[in-house]
A and B are shown apart, each in its own frame.
Chain A
Amino acid sequence: MNADSAPLLETAGLTKHFRLGGYLSNRILHAVDDVDLAIGEQEIVALVGESGSGKSTIARLIARVYRPTGGEIYFRGRPLSAMRSRSEQLAYRGRVPMIFQDPYGSLSPVYRVSHGVLRALKLHRPALSKAARDEVAAQLFESVGLTPGSDFLDKYPYQLSGGQRQRVGFAQALASNTELILADEPVSMLDVSVRIGLLNLMATLRREMRVSFLYITHDIASARYVADRLIVMYAGHIAESGPTEDVLAHPKHPYTQLLLSAVPDPRAPISLPATSSVAEPPRVVDPGEGCRFRQRCPYAIEECALVTPRLRLLRPAHTAACHVATSDIGVPAKEQAATSR
């Protein structure tokens, strides 16, 4: 692979299985199966899906918390499995840091909130003097909207709101030579009124600090707000992926359609279905062939139980893994709206 034309990060056939019930058991949970994704420079890619669909597992694989069961991850064209030296691994961790969901659990109550930023600076930028570290830390706090930064350095977590704590998480992620931030549901535990500020912050950081984001969420509306591209996960597989606006305007996978219908939209006319569906996403233990969505799918045909659908290109740069979904490629634009369901 040519490092110059390669995307910032790419996965090929990425797979992670967990053995259930100890070493003697042979029941295998398929958390992530055969995932190909790519994230470009200064790009925000949203990974969307219900809980249990494998989103965090993908983030942890990319962060090297887990080893893949199969497949490979490439950073600037270089396979992670080839990064053997400690210094190379440390540099990678600095370039691809992670932000977590829980703003209350992720900061230790006994340290000042600048502790993590200062530690990251020491680790990843050892040339900085102590005074310089304090200065950079204050600047980082300012860049995530904690102003004046120097006032926030000495605060303790209990003095900060949930939204402010999550901003500290962003500052920490920016303290190394950051290129890609893995943001695992960074706003889902915050108030709605606070979320939007953090989504705006992601857009600003992408522009001004020139970083990319893998933004993980179950909320497709917030994904639309910040992301250039969407990847929809279902039960460990990619169900659909493409440019955000194209996926929203022409959702091809029935699961994407379900996700869209779940978003509360006060601007839409009232339409309450007569009965509610209580189906849950499956835990994927020893799956056989077939589409993993078929039990919940209103359009399932016989083939869906027999053959696992592969991602097909159905519109420009837009793929979906569904036997029933129709292709719009070669269809004149005017007719597309009518044919895509």
Chain B
Amino acid sequence: MVVTAPVLAVDGLSVDYITDRGAVRAVDGVSLEVAKGEFLGIVGESGCGKSTLLFAIARLLSPPAEIAAGSVRFRGRDMVAMDEDELRHVRWRDYSVVMQSAMNALNPVMTIGAQLKDAIEAHEPASSQKIRERSEHVMRLVGIDPIHLASYPHQLSGGMRQRAMIAMALVFSPELVIMDEPTSALDVVAQRSLMLQIKELQRRIGFAAVFVTHDMSLVSHFSDRLAVMYAGQIVEVGATRSVFEDPKHPYTKGLMQSFPSISGPKERLVGIAGSPPDLLQPPAGCRFHPRCPSVMPRCRTEEPPFYEEPADLVRCHLYDR
């Protein structure tokens, strides 16, 4: 087996929001790796730190957020140590980011074509002929008629706006595309169609993807590996299939109990009682213990380490054996 270096290696990453009530640790000691061309899904409820983690990886954090510890290696180089000038060379060209809401990320008073042109020119000088060719090419890639280069964001449907965002992320054929719930604002049919498109592009272009969502069912057929995040920490990580077929952490099991199915017998679902903790004062011991149906005495005081299961890493005392 040829061992190739991962495209992305995050090690012990912690991020704090400095508030007047103290530091909120939104990401706490996260480690993960993404191989070349791999699709990593990150799932968890709102407020678990998913966006903060992605922003930290992309070096897009701004005050009051700051990286408190850890490293982010992109193609072997430590991004945490890079200054803005160095970052400008890699950001967008080697890795790009697709945000949750195109409505917020696109400029409402510029046409899609003008925004693509800006994005291209910010990174390399190019003739207008070349810019037009590349813009038309990426629009076709994401399934939008290049006619819409002349459209303003509000003239496009929600699904087309998200596609335009993805087109923008692909202008330089990056090696890594970081996506923060890019389909959450869409209805089910548009969401499905966008997911298929992303997967198809990933196969064709070969970029690695980090894809965040609160809806675990969404990535079931798309990601190679899955990381489950709770209260700033990764609590389970493994091959997507094995996490779905045999979820280990009680939180993962709860997430699996949250979405109704259209096939099979109709069963009553319970979801997960309660809500994620305030990260200013996370619970002692296992952070999930106040909501956990399998809680044991030691869970209240002792923080679980990662236990190694055959296909999975899981952070729960039930697997201490």
Indicate if A266 sits at the interface (CB-CB under 8 A). Answer: yes
User: Contacting chain B: which of A92-100, A124-132, A275-283, A321-329?
Assistant: A275-283
Complex alpha-carbon distance, A220 and B189, angstroms:
10
User: Contacting chain B: which of A19-27, A75-83, A112-120, A256-264?
Assistant: A256-264
Specify which chain A residues have a CB less than 8 angstroms from the CB of B188 in the assembled complex. 50, 218-220, 259, 262-263
User: Contacting chain B: which of A4-12, A147-155, A194-202?
Assistant: A194-202
Interface code A210-221, partner B: CB below 8 Å = 1, 0 otherwise?
Answer: 000000001111
Q: Count of B residues near A, CB < 8 Å?
A: 48
B272 and A193 contacting across the interface, CB-CB below 8 Å: yes
Identify which of B160, B189, B258, B261 contacts A265 (C-beta below 8 A). B261
Indicate if B301 sits at the interface (CB-CB under 8 A). Answer: no
Indicate if A270 sits at the interface (CB-CB under 8 A). Answer: yes
Specify which chain B residues have a CB less than 8 angstroms from the CB of A258 in the assembled complex. 189
**A41: min CB distance to chain B, Å:** 22
In A227-267, the 8 Å CB interface with B consists of 245, 248, 258-267
Indicate if A206 sits at the interface (CB-CB under 8 A). Answer: no
Specify which chain A residues have a CB less than 8 angstroms from the CB of B160 in the assembled complex. 280
**A104: min CB distance to chain B, Å:** 12
Indicate if A68 sits at the interface (CB-CB under 8 A). Answer: no
Complex alpha-carbon distance, A272 and B158, angstroms:
23
A193 and B143 contacting across the interface, CB-CB below 8 Å: no
Specify which chain B residues have a CB less than 8 angstroms from the CB of A50 in the assembled complex. 187-190
Closest to B213 in A: A192
Specify which chain B residues have a CB less than 8 angstroms from the CB of A197 in the assembled complex. 271
**B75: min CB distance to chain A, Å:** 29
Specify which chain A residues have a CB less than 8 angstroms from the CB of B255 in the assembled complex. 192-193
Complex alpha-carbon distance, A162 and B160, angstroms:
27
Complex alpha-carbon distance, A193 and B213, angstroms:
12
B272 and A267 contacting across the interface, CB-CB below 8 Å: no
Closest to B251 in A: A193
Complex alpha-carbon distance, A219 and B258, angstroms:
14
Closest to A278 in B: B143
B262 and A265 contacting across the interface, CB-CB below 8 Å: yes
With A192-B215, A193-B214 known to touch, is A264 a contact of B220 (CB < 8 Å)? Answer: yes
Complex alpha-carbon distance, A258 and B269, angstroms:
25
With A275-B200, A276-B196 known to touch, is A221 a contact of B259 (CB < 8 Å)? Answer: yes
A248 and B262 contacting across the interface, CB-CB below 8 Å: yes
With A248-B262, A263-B188 known to touch, is A272 a contact of B45 (CB < 8 Å)? Answer: no
Indicate if A51 sits at the interface (CB-CB under 8 A). Answer: yes
Specify which chain A residues have a CB less than 8 angstroms from the CB of B195 in the assembled complex. 264
B266 and A192 contacting across the interface, CB-CB below 8 Å: no
Closest to A193 in B: B258
Complex alpha-carbon distance, A199 and B267, angstroms:
13
A191 and B217 contacting across the interface, CB-CB below 8 Å: no
A265 and B187 contacting across the interface, CB-CB below 8 Å: no
Specify which chain A residues have a CB less than 8 angstroms from the CB of B254 in the assembled complex. 193
In B211-239, the 8 Å CB interface with A consists of 214-218, 220-221
Which 5 pairs from chain A and chain B are nearest by CB?
A276-B196, A266-B220, A218-B187, A196-B271, A225-B260
12 additional contacts, CB 8 Å, given A225-B260, A262-B192?
A50-B187, A50-B189, A50-B190, A51-B187, A193-B255, A196-B270, A262-B189, A263-B188, A266-B221, A272-B221, A276-B143, A278-B144
Which B residues have a C-beta under 8 Å from some C-beta of A?
Answer: 45-46, 143-144, 157-160, 163, 187-197, 199-200, 214-218, 220-221, 244, 254-264, 266, 268-272, 275
Which A residues have a C-beta under 8 Å from some C-beta of B?
Answer: 50-51, 161-163, 191-197, 199-200, 218-222, 224-225, 245, 248, 258-268, 270, 272-273, 275-278, 280
List 18 contacting pairs A-B, 8 Å CB cutoff, sorted by A: A50-B190, A51-B158, A194-B45, A199-B260, A200-B268, A220-B262, A221-B261, A221-B262, A225-B260, A248-B262, A259-B189, A262-B191, A263-B262, A264-B195, A266-B216, A266-B217, A266-B244, A275-B196
